[in-house]
Structure 1
Amino acid sequence: MATSERSPLRTVVALVSALGLGGGGLAFGFVLASVAAAVLTLGLGVEISPAALLVLSLVFVQGVGCAGVALAYMKLRPVVGPEIRSILGFEGVPGPFDIDAELPDLRGVAVVVGGYVLAIGAALAGSVLVTLLQVDTGTNQAAEIGMENPETLLILIPAAILIIGPGEELLFRGVVQGRLREVLGPVAAIFLASSFFAGLHWFALTGGSAAGNVVALAVLVGPSLVFGAAYELTDNIVVPSLIHGIYNATLFTLLYVVVAFGDQLPDQQNVAAAALALL
């Protein structure tokens, strides 16, 4: 992990670059997904099903957008970094920026298990809080597609572990949190990266009141802090990726149960719907 290198200008540059990379990765993936969908529908006359649209989004947003931008940053930083530092008048050269990824050891496995329990506990406690406050929260767009087309949830459950968790963690924990850590230290980096990650979910929500969506996003900070802390504890991006992926897969599975067996589980439907705003 990189060491802290703090000054007012370096702090501003780190904030701008980290948040720009995070938001830019998602935006880049969204643009690619939109272009691909337009080519298929307008150019080739292909009718895209909800499941196919969801696959396009997963591949281009989490796969190409998030993971691609993170990997490009690691590749280009040694080349572009010195030029930027020269323009800004910084001394020295950029330090190494690595994102370690390896199979978790026993300690890593313990962090995965403990982190998953904490993340799910935070989500369920948050969903109960949302219900008690009686605020109108929006629905995650992927969850909304799943509620209307339950078969897509059978795609989302494995995709959460294989694509969503790794892609988002590589960008937001590996790059955004890692970049902020260089100037702000680990604690501030975890909090800022987690808050930014949660805040970006505003654009994934449909419906709901402004107050309700703010509450939902505030609750989402809890699981995000768990992901960030897990990365700092292990210095292994695989660990938060597994926690995040299994966490999302659990919520998608819960949604599938609610959709498939909602008539038998009326008391659980509101809690599940509130929790799924936290995806």
Structure 2
Amino acid sequence: MAPLDSSSGPIDAVAGRIPSPVLAVLTALLLAVVGLGGGSLIGLAVAQALGSAGIDLPLLASTVLSTVLLQGITFFGLSALYLRYRGFDLEYVGVRTPDLEGWIYVGAGYVLAFVTAITMIFVVVFLLGLTPAQNRAGELGQQDPRIFLVLIVLAFVLIGPGEELLFRGIIQSRLRETFSAPVGIAVATAIFAAAHAGSLSGPTSGVALTITLLFFPGLVFAITYEMTDNVVVPAIIHGLYNATLFALAYVSTVAG
């Protein structure tokens, strides 16, 4: 579907003077920054409003609310605004029920993402002796293990779909308008991995290491999207991947 003709707008006038590769990367970065920054600002505004009303949410409810505001409202909302601005519908990102081939990609992608992540962690932690950063969701789960159970559900409902819609459906698709598949996938995956920096805690070296580790499962999500042209496929894989990690973290916390 062709974009709306808005060539007379000031934004398009400026964009028309920027080389296509530079414009594609800048657009991708801007979408990521607006998504993350907008979600943070909305979360801060809601927290201040609740505080002014004398409402102190428990940790579990606060975690659910922050996920709804970021991956739910902000990521879905920004994606919808972008599609509307470009004059595209959901066909641009590919939203449909997976067929048999799609489900095969789901199974293979989940196994590959998980095996790749475990292998990289083994190499980095046990063989090289390096220490990745701690994910804040893990820190919260240590305080209240029920958070892991809630996150398992949210992984399928909001986290996987929201992140895949923005970073694969919107950002990767925008990059693919200009770049080849390998370049578009690599840049989109790098942006996706770096976007998790705000949810990590620890020294800079540990954060950089974790971002590097996140690149590999992200690469699997990106490749399955490229192969299927259906954002639902990587959304399911992402949900399964995160849900497995949350389930393992819950068992480890409760049993430990």
Residue 235 of structure 1, aligned match among 217, 229, 233: 229
Post-superposition Cα deviations, 1:82-112, rounded to whole Å, max 9, x if no partner, equal: xxxxxxxxxxxx9x97111111000000000
Name the residue aligned to 2:213.
Answer: 219
Cα distance in 1 between the residues matched to 2:19 and 2:241: 37
Q: State the one-letter code of the partner of 1:243.
A: I
Give me the whole-angstrom Cα distance separating, in 2, the residues matched to 1:26 and 1:66: 8
Give the distance between the partners of 2:160 and 2:220, measured in 1 at CA: 13
User: Which amino acid in the other structure matches residue 122 of structure 1?
Assistant: T
1:198 is displaced (CA, Å) by 0.5
Q: CA deviation at 1:10?
A: 1.0
- Say whether residues 1:109 and 2:87 are aligned partners: no
Aligned to 1:83: none
- Equivalent of 2:41, from 23, 27, 31? 31
State the shift of 1:200 in Å.
1.6
Provide TM-score, normalisation by structure 1.
0.82
Instruction: Name the amino acid aligned to 1:192.
Output: V
Contact 1:26 1:62 in 2 (8 A): no
1:174 is displaced (CA, Å) by 0.6
Distance 1:185 1:134 in 2: 36
Distance 1:124 1:8 in 2: 41
| Corresponding residue number in structure 1 for 2:167 | 172
Q: Per-residue deviation at 1:29?
A: 1.2
Question: Which residue identity lines up with residue 112 of structure 1 in the other structure?
Answer: V
* Structure-2 residue corresponding to 1:268: none
Q: How does 1:138-217 map to 2 (within 5 A)?
A: 138-207=133-202, 209-217=203-211
Going from structure 1 to structure 2, the CA distance change for 1:110 and 1:135 (only over 3 Å counts) comes to same
Is 1:70 aligned to residue 73 of structure 2?
Answer: no
Contact map agreement 2:36 2:195 (CA 8 A) in 1: no
Per the alignment, residue 52 of structure 1 pairs with 61
Q: 1:9 maps to what in 2?
A: 19
TM-score w.r.t. length of structure 2:
0.89
Give the SS at the match of 1:184: coil
Secondary structure of 1:123's aligned partner: helix
In structure 1, distance between residues paired with 2:18 and 2:54: 53
Residues in 1 aligned to 2:65 and 2:48: alpha-carbon distance in whole angstroms: 11
Contact 1:30 1:65 in 2 (8 A): no
Q: Which moved more, 1:7-16 or 1:180-189?
A: 7-16
Letter in 1 for 2:26: V
Return 233-242 or 127-136, whichever deviates more. Answer: 127-136
Correspondence 1:244-255 to 2 at 5 A: 244-255=238-249
1: CA distance, partners of 2:57 / 2:129:
36
Q: Distance in 1 between matches of 2:194 and 2:228?
A: 25
Aligned residue type for 1:102:
R
Distance 1:63 1:239, change over 3 A: same
- Deviations along 1:114-160, one digit per CA (max 9) or x if unpaired, are 00001001111122123122223221111210111101111100100
Structure 2, gaps ≥5 residues long: 3-16
- Aligned-CA RMSD value: 1.9
Q: Secondary structure at the match of 1:68?
A: helix
Identity of aligned residues (%): 40
Structure 2 residue matching 1:171: 3-state secondary structure = helix
Aligned residues: 240
Query: Helix, strand or coil for the counterpart of 2:117?
Result: helix
* Structure 1: stretches of 5+ with no match in the other structure: 79-93, 263-279
Letter in 1 for 2:114: I
- Secondary structure of 1:118 counterpart: helix
